[in-house]
Chains A and B, each alone.
Chain A
Amino acid sequence: MKEKEIKKETVGNAEEKNRFVREVAQKKYEYGFTTDVQTEIIDRGLDEDVVRLISAKKEEPDWLLEFRLKAFNYWQTQQQPSWGHLTLPEIDYQAISYYADPTKGMKKDGPKSLDEIDPELMKTFDKLGIPLEERLALSGTAVDAVMDSVSVKTTFKEKLSERGIIFCSISEAVREYPDLVRQYLGSVVPYRDNYFAALNSAVFSDGSFVYIPKGVRCPMELSTYFRINARNTGQFERTLIVCDDGGYVSYLEGCTAPMRDENQLHAAIVEIVVNENAEVKYSTVQNWYPGDAEGKGGVLNLVTKRGHLRGANSKLSWTQVETGSAITWKYPSCILSGDNSQAEFYSVAVTNNYQQADTGTKMIHLGRNTKSTIISKGISAGKSQNSYRGLVRVAPRADGARNYSSCDSLLLGSDCGAHTFPYMDVRNDTAIVEHEATTSKISEEQLFYCNQRGIPTEEAVGLIVNGYAKDVINKLPMEFAVEAQKLLNVSLEGTVG
């Protein structure tokens, strides 16, 4: 069987009038504050010298500088892609600063104790609900806190190292575990992968590194919290997770940024390697500043995330709740090489006001009896555009491969759009690939039914939206799930008048 199909569903024009839905007030964004902290920012602009400067500041080995330079040279030969269902504002790559270090006032090699961290930074993370003091931590969660280009603090490092688990900033990993980093960096997302991956590979600053040794189950949730603070800087973090044979880890990623009138660029790479019988769960609650109600400002979230299920019986799941960013353009993907490997993608993407999202996943089935599941829930409100784009590819030797995809769109109001672009490329007769898609709208009848029972409209919308997203929310770790539910309600506040 050879099949290639492109399906396109586009709904939601301004034509239909809806009495109960009106574009109102800007949603509340409670993380929009800035931190006044001594920050070392290099001059704006990007050339080979800047790449060398970043590498020098981090005292990197030659091989890494070479990697960066190769990536930079490749990036220069490339054009910014334009195939997304997005209107991307022009990005002036020379107007951005590529390195901002808010720990400037601190000692080199990171703080030895919390006393050495600028109290302003401590306060910032406290305010964000990410305490850096281990005694205050959420139960069973270790945190790597990254602000702008630098990791501020990683908690529970010692406790984890007792089991041979490495959890630290990628800068530290380059210093302490160069062989591991060199072996895996760029092995899942090569710098030639795409325009933004090349840019990231050239200028990446910080991010997290995780290594789970053979047969070790990580006893706590690992989490990285990303924060953009400095003005006119881009954040280019890089995360590398390696889970060796029989290992297990659950990893969480959260992010926020101050409210700024100009767009902020965030171009990250996440690479995950999953070996034989190992399992990785990666959860994201993305709440970057989405811009104001008129579409001014907001983070451009252009990220490459990919996992390689290298070993037999390996498992990887991506769960994402995306409520922030002016533009979200990313496809957390899985390459299923190992026989019997299993991959999952669970996503809720909310867009409101003028937000745009073009997100989904790629499932590349190479091994035999590989299985993948895609559950995508898009929620669009205001004047936003929300697209699901996904690829399911089954290679000729992937006997018995299975995929199930379900892509639902929920519309609030008549001025938003929901779009679905599923691509299938199946080259094996024994493969079974299923795709289901629905588009629905919260009806006036549903809202009135809730009203008659005493439930006000805004609460009713929250109830319906959370019900719609629950298959995905339920996949998140407990604390994150509660956060995500609240976030859904806040993001859609003011969408119904």
Chain B
Amino acid sequence: MLEIKDLHACINGKEILKGINLTVNAGEIHALMGQNGAGKSTLSNVLVGNPAYEVTHGSVTFNGKDLLAMKPEERAHEGLFLSFQQPVEIPGVSMVNFMRAAVNAKRKYKGLEPMGAGDFLKMMREKRKIVELDSKLANRSVNEGFSGGEKKRNEIFQMAMLEPTLSILDETDSGLDVDALRIVAEGFNKLRTPETSALVITHYQRLLDYLKPDVVHVLMDGRIVKTGGPDLAVEIEKRGFDWIKAEAEAD
């Protein structure tokens, strides 16, 4: 589904990614761990086409298509979704108008008619229940006045609405209390199908306890230095990253 080959990228002229190789198959969940500054968020931003980042080398294919040649909105239409680490507020734009624009833009891309207002509202009602957001959601401005937990639930709600095939969760667990974490993680799990995959960026084992990743990668200084099964995350939780660093330097 996703194939990253020798990807290099920089921001403001500084190289952050120094040759990433990563393959995610349909149905798999990959966890991406690593210390602050390792390049985890840069990788997610590069994948969704944030114009602040510049790709200097390498290739990314998504379902056989050249991902890097697509505009950010085309990547979204093709099934890529990012749950932002810090979702931005858009005052004055209601969630209902925002989501309708997003859903209909995708339908247009797929050659479908815009969704009728009735069907759309029904869909919003059903999907918001997945992350336990209340009926006021539709008329609230995008992320404005949302608590930290609500913002993250709102990200998963949008994921539910857009039905992506590959979701990137960028520290979706940061700043969440135990209950909010459970709601977000269980919401995510409800949306899983055998065809959908995810790249989960996190510092903590507690989110992975819910999501049960198939593969765990450790990112260090712009490269993936270690890949393992779910046990690797458990070990990192116990021992930190220093031993991996030592191993990497020994190579």
Interface residue ranges, A against B (CB under 8 Å): 19-20, 440, 443-446, 448-456, 459-460, 463-464, 466-468, 470
Which listed residue, B91, B106, B142, touches A468 by the CB 8 Å rule?
B91
Q: Which of B51, B92, B162 meets A453, CB within 8 Å? A: B162
Which of B82, B101, B162 is within 8 Å of A459, CB to CB? Answer: B101
Residue of B52, B71, B75, B105 contacting most chain A CB atoms (<10 Å)? B105
Assuming A446-B90, A464-B93, is B102 touching A455 (CB within 8 A)? yes
**B58 adjacent to chain A (CB < 8 Å):** no
Determine if B72 and A451 form an interchain contact, defined as CB atoms under 8 angstroms apart. yes
Give min CB distance, A494 to chain B, whole Å.
17
Say yes or no: B51 contacts A448, CB within 8 Å: yes
**A431 to B106 alpha-carbon distance, docked (Å):** 53
- B105 in contact with A445 (CB, 8 Å): no
Q: Which residues of B contact A445 (CB under 8 A)?
A: 88
- In the assembled complex, which residues on chain A have CB atoms less than 8 Å from the CB atom of B101? 450, 455, 459-460, 463
Closest to A471 in B: B92
Contact B88 A446 (CB under 8 A): yes
B76 and A464 form a contact (CB under 8 A): no
- List 16 additional A-B contacts (Cβ < 8 Å) besides A450-B102, A467-B90: A443-B88, A451-B49, A451-B71, A451-B76, A452-B81, A452-B82, A453-B102, A454-B77, A454-B102, A455-B73, A456-B71, A463-B101, A464-B93, A467-B91, A467-B94, A467-B97
Cα separation A466 to B93 with both chains bound (whole Å) = 8
Q: Chain A contact residues: over half helix, strand or loop, or mixed?
A: helix
> A459-B101, A459-B105 are known contacts. Are A451 and B73 too (CB-CB below 8 A)?
yes
Contact digits for B53-94, partner A, Cβ 8 Å, 1 yes 0 no:
000000000000000000111011100011010011011111
Q: Which B residues are CB-close (under 8 A) to A468?
A: 91-92
In this complex, which of B72, B91, B162 has the most chain A Cβ atoms within 10 angstroms of its Cβ?
B72
The reply on B227 being an interface residue by CB < 8 A is no
Tell me the bound Cα distance from A445 to B88 in angstroms.
Answer: 7
Is B165 on the interface with A (CB-CB < 8 A)?
Answer: no
Nearest A residue to B102 via CB reads A453
Do A467 and B102 have beta carbons less than 8 Å apart?
Answer: no
B 158-175 to A, binary, CB cutoff 8 A, 1 in contact else 0: 100010000000000000
A464-B92 in contact (CB<8A)? yes
Structural contact, B98 and A463, CB atoms closer than 8 A = yes
Bound-complex Cα distance A468 to B94 (A): 11
B48 within 8 A of A: yes
Contacts of B84 in A (CB 8 A): 449, 452
Q: Which residue of A lies closest to B92 (CB)?
A: A467
CB of B135 closer than 8 Å to a CB of A = no
Verify B87–A449 contact, CB threshold 8 A. Answer: yes
**Is B88 in contact with A454, judged by CB distance below 8 angstroms?**
no
Residue of A nearest to B141 (CB): A467
Instruction: Assess whether B105 is in contact with A448, with CB atoms less than 8 Å apart.
Output: no
Q: Provide the residues of chain B in CB contact with A452, threshold 8 Å.
A: 48-49, 72-73, 75-76, 81-82, 84
Q: List 28 A-B contacts (CB under 8 A).
A: A443-B88, A446-B88, A446-B90, A448-B51, A450-B98, A450-B102, A451-B73, A451-B76, A452-B48, A452-B49, A452-B81, A453-B98, A453-B162, A454-B73, A454-B105, A454-B109, A454-B162, A455-B73, A455-B101, A463-B93, A463-B97, A463-B98, A464-B90, A467-B90, A467-B91, A467-B92, A467-B94, A468-B92
Residues of A within 8 A of B71 (CB): 451, 456
The chain B residue sitting closest to A454, CB to CB, is: B76
State in angstroms the CA–CA spacing of A470 and B90 once bound together: 14
Tell me the nearest residue of chain B to A448, going by C-beta: B50
Instruction: Considering the complex, give the chain B residue whose CB is closest to the CB of A19.
Output: B51
What residues of A have a CB within 8 angstroms of the CB of B81 in the complex?
452
CA distance A388 to B142 in the complex (A): 28
Q: Measured between alpha carbons, how far is A271 from B170 in the docked complex, in Å?
A: 59
